[in-house]
Amino acid sequence: MFPITIGLNHKTAPVEIREKVSFHPSEINKALLELDALSALNGVVLLSTCNRLEIYAATPEVELGVSVIKKFLARHGKLREEDIDQYLYVHTLYDSVRHLFRVVAGLDSMVIGETQILGQVAEAYEKSSQLDLSNKIIHAIFQNALAVGKRVRSETQIDQHPTSVSYTAVELAKQTFGDVQGKSILILGAGEMSALTAKHLVASGADTVLVSNRSMQRAQALAEEFSGRAIPYEELDTALAEADIVISATAAAHFVIKPERMRRVMEQRQRRALLLIDIAVPRDIHPNVGELEGVTLFDIDDLRGVVDSHQKAREEAALQAGRILEEEMGRFVKWHNSLYVVPTIVALQRRGEEVREIMLKSALNKLGPIDEKQEKIIRSMANSIVTHLLHAPIANLKEAANTSQGHLYTEILQNLFDLDGNELSPHAGWSVHHAASHHSNQS
């Protein structure tokens, strides 16, 4: 089985594409079961956030595994394979592990060191485990990755300052208006992103926070937590007419605010300026809304250009985090290779002993009667031949065990000496020919 990762994120695909292939939380279990039903996959985790969609899987055939996942994503997003392929990246073997380590550490996020991704990865892994869709490879990789993410955050200052999409959205509002004090701010949605947005708004001095959600109960709970005011979803137009800033983060599968609606709202506002920040994926606000007079619209991709006062500190912490990742990657490679190397050495020595005994028995039978001293000399010579013959392969294999190619040398030896790879490899192997064929294509 080989670990693979296929996905897209804010760096490879615009929000217009990401929203097509995103999964609503209610869809993820069904998607996982559909992926598990594909014969090319054995073990799968689906990570879907506002800025990335990634499928981690174990597969006996790398090319086939990658192909079926690409087809799955194309079907889900109602896109042609050739259209989605340009936005996808593929990682295999150790590159897949290294990529996950970077993700959990927050080094691959739009906001370096963001705090939500570690929990999101843990939740994705937990969902897979609950459905019994994980295997030894998935467990090993994700348990190591989560430990790495925790270590990075405990040993660096990468998350000592607010780091999230919600925080960056509030920073964008402050940079656009100069200040949020005295502004009426409307939050659409009542989930985790909305709660973080409200938290950062209050910390920035906002004194009027309105919350609107399809569930009035959830809107009230969030509004009460931050001394705000809940707005019935049916009265959203009234709230839009009142607000100076709107930050939208619902889980809706369609546009919540369309041009026709905002045109009526802006007439009611008498074209008074309105800032809309849409951090939802799929987007909540139709892009044509931004063309209306008096409206300034930003979507989640616009947050990439926002620079906050803590950015330099996070970048410095990211350098330290990168060193930790390489250290942890080295440990993982050494650990993984040891799973193959020790059993292979034992099996190789056993094979040498088997051959020695077969040859000795044949030679002694042909020689006929010999004395004890002569037999001892012959046996000693046979032992020396086997020991000297295996010395170099074993020494080189031990040395290779500390490199990223250790498991490949192991399986080469298994093939050359006809050792039983299925018994020797705890995870059923990351084979030589597949690794070699994909090495140059990893991105």
Q: Which residues are catalytic?
A: 50
Q: Give the residue ranges of the annotated binding site.
A: 49-52, 109, 114-116, 120, 189-194
- Cα separation of 172 and 187, whole Å? 15
Spatial strand order of the sheet with 184-188 comes to 229-232, 208-213, 184-188, 245-248, 274-278, 295-299
- Cα separation of 389 and 265, whole Å? 85
- Cα separation of 296 and 177, whole Å? 11
Q: Give the residue ranges of the annotated binding site for substrate.
A: 49-52, 109, 114-116, 120
Residue pointed to by tokens 């193959």: 340
- Cα separation of 238 and 378, whole Å? 99
**Cis peptide leading into residue 282 (ω within 30°):** yes
Burial per residue of 321-350, b for 16 or more beta-carbon CB atoms within 10 angstroms, e otherwise: beebbeebbeebbeebbebbbebbbebbee
Which residue in 97, 192, 109 sits closest to 146, CA to CA?
97
For 415, phi and psi rounded to 5 degrees? -70, -45
- First vs last C-alpha separation in the chain: 20
How many Å separate Cα 418 from the centre of its chain?
Answer: 37
- Note every long-range contact of 340-344, with CB atoms under 8 Å and residues 24 or more positions apart, other chains counting: 340/406, 340/407, 340/410, 340/411, 340/424, 340/425, 340/426, 340/429, 341/397, 341/398, 341/401, 341/406, 341/410, 343/423, 343/424, 343/425, 344/397, 344/410, 344/413, 344/414, 344/419, 344/424
Q: What is residue 41's DSSP assignment?
A: -
- Cα separation of 138 and 42, whole Å? 9
The two structure tokens encoding residue 108:
């691959």
> For the CA atoms of the chain, what is the radius of gyration?
29
